[in-house]
Chain A
Amino acid sequence: MSERELGRKLDRCLADGVIKLGTGLGLGIVFSVLFFKRHTWPISLGSGAGLGMAYSNCQNDLRSHYLLHRNQKVGLDEETT
Chain B
Amino acid sequence: MLRLLLRGAAGSARKNGGRGPVAHLQPLRQYSSSQSSGAAKVVAASLLTVGGGIGGTVLYAQWDHKFRATVEKNVPYSDSVFGLILGPAPQNAGPPVRTQLESTQPQSMLEKRAKTSKVQSEKKVKGTTETEAIEPTPTVSVPAASMEEASVEATQIISASGDVPSVPAPCDTEPTVVTEHCDECHPAGPEAVLHGADSPTEQLVERPAEEVSARLAQQDQDEQNVLAAVSSSLEESLACSARAALQAIGAQEAALQAINQHTQKLKEAMEAESPPEEKSVQWKDLEAALMDRTSAVTDATAALQKANEALDSLRTTIRNSKDLKVAAARPLVLAAEENLHKMAVDLDRVVAQVQSAEAESKIVSQYSDLVQEAKLQFQKEVSSLTPEIQANWKGLTGKLSSDDLNALIAHAHRRIDQLNRELAEQRVREQIHIDAALQQQKLEDQRVLENAVSSSLQHVKEEARLEQERKMNELREVMEAEMRTQLRRQAAAHTDHVRDVLKVQEQELRAEAEQVLSSKLLDQETRHRQLTQEQLDNFTLDMNAAYARLKGVEEAIDSHLVAEDEARRAHQLWLSVEALNHTLKTAGAEEPSVPLDSAAQIVRDSCREDDFASALAEALPAESLSRGVYGEASLRARFNSLRSLVRRVALIDESHNSLYQYFLSYLQAALLFEDQQVAPPTQLSSEDLDPFKLLSYASYCLEHGELELAAKLVNQLKGEARRVVEDWLTEARLTLETRQVVSLLSAYANAVGLGTTQAP
Contacts and interface: CB of A to CB of B under 8 A. Distances in A.
Contacts of A65: 723
B728 A59 contact: no
A2 B727 contact: yes
B645 A6 contact: yes
A44 B14 CA distance: 81
A55 B638 CA distance: 29
Interface string B655-687: 001110010000000000000000000000000
Given A3-B645, A6-B645, A6-B649, A59 B727 contact: no
> What bracket does the count of chain A residues touching chain B fall in?
10 to 19
B723 A2 contact: yes
> What bracket does the count of chain B residues touching chain A fall in?
10 to 19
Interface in A31-81: 55, 58-59, 62-63, 65-66
B246 interface: no
B541 to A, nearest CB: 79
A5 interface: yes
Given A58-B659, A59-B659, A62-B659, A3 B654 contact: no
Contacts of A7: 645
Nearest to B639: A3
Contacts of A55: 659
Contacts of A2: 723-728
B657 A62 contact: yes
Contacts of A5: 723-724
A62 B656 CA distance: 11
B119 interface: no
Contacts of B641: 3
Nearest to B727: A2
B722 to A, nearest CB: 9
Most chain B beta-carbon neighbours within 10 Å: one of A2, A7, A58: A2
Main secondary structure of the interface of B (DSSP, over half): helix
A62 B659 CA distance: 8
B658 A3 contact: no
A5 B726 CA distance: 11
Nearest to B652: A62
Contacts of A58: 659
B727 A3 contact: yes
A32 B697 CA distance: 57
A1 B657 contact: no
A3 B662 contact: no
Contacts of B649: 6
Interface in A1-18: 1-3, 5-7
A62 B724 CA distance: 12
B725 A63 contact: no
A25 B325 CA distance: 200
Contacts of A59: 658-659
Contact of A63 (B638, B657, B724): B657
Interface string B565-582: 000000000000000000
Contacts of B659: 55, 58-59, 62
Contacts of B728: 1-3
A34 to B, nearest CB: 32
A25 B641 CA distance: 36
A16 B657 CA distance: 19
Contacts of B332: none
A55 B660 CA distance: 10
Counting from the closest, the 3 A-B pairs by CB-CB distance are: A2-B727, A2-B726, A59-B659
Interface of A: 1-3, 5-7, 55, 58-59, 62-63, 65-66
